Amino acid sequence: MEVCLFLFVHCDDESPARPPIDPSLLEAASREVQGLTRFVVHLPAQLPDSDPLSKPQTSIPCCALQWYFDDLGLLETALQPGGAMQAIVNRIANATEANLTFAQQAMAVRPFATPNPNDARHRTERCTYLVSYEGEAEDFNAWLTHYLAHHPPLMAQLPGIRELEIYTRLDFRSGLTIPRATAMQRNKVVFDDPEALAAALSSPIRAHMKQDFTAFPPYIGPSPHFPMRSIYGNLKPT
């Protein structure tokens, strides 16, 4: 199963709408990571209209990175002390005068088919809705079994959806000297642009998803949703 590392960067002293450094520097640095197959640089995006079924979000990350590997061993090798990933963290920290906080989390990647998927040969930028479940389910096995059986089929019906992935947490070794995030689960739905994401969030399918949410097994905790501008990099031959 494919795995990915999430690196979240929060900016304490500046608007989250401004990235801490030029995203092209993040792209170039990501290509130096050994064993990496693909990556995504996420920056905050503004939607034409807010999500009518979600509460306003706070603490939007000013940058989030996803690094994908074919297995956990390759990811842990890239996370060795003093390696390329630590250099990226240092580069981000040194590129802005803002006070930054970081968090890392390795997760298993569960992809799901969509009617009109991304073309890996041509995709360079999309608009993503990142979702995280930061709390705990009373019975995680029951939660995940229900979620994977019922929610992705609804999500795949969102108009204009290009990509759908669900992530579950992993225990992992890391030499990065930054805190760890502990989200129980994360999701990603991807669209062509902010207008397409806004249209999907206003569609009748979104209401069906909310109805399914009320049927989930017991869960306590926040579930923030963030619209992001997503820049893709593919390191595998296509």
pLDDT of residue 117: 87
What residue numbers bound the domain in which 220 lies?
3-234
Q: Which CATH number fits the domain that encloses residue 217?
A: 3.30.70.100
Positions of the chain with pLDDT lower than 50, given as ranges: 16-17, 53, 56, 238
pLDDT of residue 186: 98
Of the candidates 238, 237, 233, the residue with the CA atom closest to the CA atom of residue 32: 233
**Both tokens assigned to 230:** 């997503």
**What's the structural domain count of the chain?**
1
For 12-57, the pLDDT digits (tens) are 755 544 556 778 888 888 888 999 999 999 999 888 765 554 554 5
Tell me how far apart the alpha carbons of residues 143 and 218 are, in angstroms, rounded to a whole number: 8
Tell me how far apart the alpha carbons of residues 10 and 228 are, in angstroms, rounded to a whole number: 14
Q: Provide φ and ψ at 200, rounded to 5°.
A: -65, -40
Q: What percent of the chain has pLDDT over 70?
A: 89
Contact 131, 225 (CB under 8 A): yes
pLDDT of residue 145: 96
